[in-house]
Structure 1
């Protein structure tokens, strides 16, 4: 994937894009809570990604 909009060169960009991805999926009715195995391919490691909903109090 060589999308110039997905150039992740630092943690801040990674977090920003991940937040946008999760919010967009949620807005489109996709259940984002759960786990996914990500095949690294091409010499990259494999990952296990787990997303959980965090319930916070109004004070947080």
Structure 2
């Protein structure tokens, strides 16, 4: 797996990257729900990410 060095400058860009990543994982059969620890070494903070599926609001689609 290779990671592109893409600079993100806004929450909107971060959301778009996360959306694309989750869609690719889901389409590949990965169970994306649950908690994920993201350990990043000493130079960056660590994060805990929790993903839950939400009910679609049919009126907004």
> Which TM bucket (shorter chain)?
0.7 to 0.9
Q: TM-score, normalized by length of structure 2?
A: 0.79
Q: Which runs of 5+ in 1 are unaligned?
A: none
Unmatched segments (≥5 aa) in structure 2: none
Task: Quote how far apart the aligned CAs of 1:9 are.
Answer: 1.7
Aligned to 2:27: 27
Question: Under a length normalisation based on structure 1, what TM-score does the superposition of the two structures give?
Answer: 0.80
Aligned residues: 59
Moved over 4 A (4+): none
